[in-house]
């Protein structure tokens, strides 16, 4: 069996119960077709790089699975049929299961963020050292003769 990383983006307007049902449906699909789910990481709502179906946010889910070589095609076929899945990507990887990533801070639009006033920078006077004259003890070669 191969190891796969399946990332998919769900419509953020989907209700919590429907979203959980959708995530469980994809996990059950893997189990029913002879695979096993190692871990499912829900990253939550994130801002999309570009609008997809006039939506600027999406709910990200990352699923690590071990499955036969035919299963990713079946998973992607089911994701393509589902109207709630905006985008998906399946990648085969080798090696150890990556460590669980800590969730990023949620995106907060600038209008909603409280205006934090930056403290005024206090400039300390810089004491300048008096310039010392440069003394050149060596004479140029033309003057040495």
Q: Is residue 72 part of a domain?
A: yes
Q: Is residue 140 part of a domain?
A: no
Percent of the chain's residues with pLDDT above 70: 71
**pTM greater than the 0.75 cutoff:** no
Q: Is residue 122 part of a domain?
A: no
Let me know if 10 is exposed, middle or buried by CB neighbors in 10 A (0-12, 13-18, 19+): buried
Q: Is residue 99 part of a domain?
A: no
pLDDT at site 111: 77
- For residue 81, what pLDDT band results from cuts at 50, 70 and 90? very high
Beta strands, E only, 81-145: 85-93
Count of structural domains within the chain:
1
> 45: domain range?
2-93
Domain harbouring 78, CATH code: 3.30.70.60
pLDDT at site 99: 75
Sign of the CA dihedral with 72 first, then 77, 83, and 86 last? positive
Q: Is residue 128 part of a domain?
A: no
Question: Which residue reads 């150890």 in tokens?
Answer: 96
Q: Is residue 137 part of a domain?
A: no
Given a contact cutoff of 8 angstroms between Cβ atoms, the answer to whether 57 and 21 are in contact is no
- For residue 1, what pLDDT band results from cuts at 50, 70 and 90? confident
Q: Is residue 63 part of a domain?
A: yes
**Higher pLDDT pick, 20 / 117:** 20
- For residue 105, what pLDDT band results from cuts at 50, 70 and 90? low
pLDDT at site 98: 75
Query: What are the residues facing 89 on neighbouring strands?
Result: 7
Q: Is residue 44 part of a domain?
A: yes
């Amino acid at each position: 069996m191969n190891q796969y990383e399946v990332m998919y983006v769900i419509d953020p307007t989907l209700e919590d119960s429907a979203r959980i049902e959708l995530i469980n449906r994809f996990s059950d699909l893997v189990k029913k077709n002879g695979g096993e789910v190692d871990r499912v990481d829900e990253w939550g709502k994130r801002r999309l790089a570009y609008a997809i179906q006039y939506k600027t946010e999406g709910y990200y889910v990352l699923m690590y699975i071990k499955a036969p070589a035919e299963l990713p095609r079946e998973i992607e076929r089911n994701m393509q049929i589902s109207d709630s899945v905006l985008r998906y990507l399946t990648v085969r990887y080798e090696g150890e299961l990556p460590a669980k990533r800590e969730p990023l801070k949620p995106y907060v639009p600038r209008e909603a963020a409280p205006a934090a006033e930056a403290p005024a920078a206090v400039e300390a006077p810089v004491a300048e050292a008096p310039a010392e004259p440069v003394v050149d003890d060596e004479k140029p070669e033309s003057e040495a003769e």
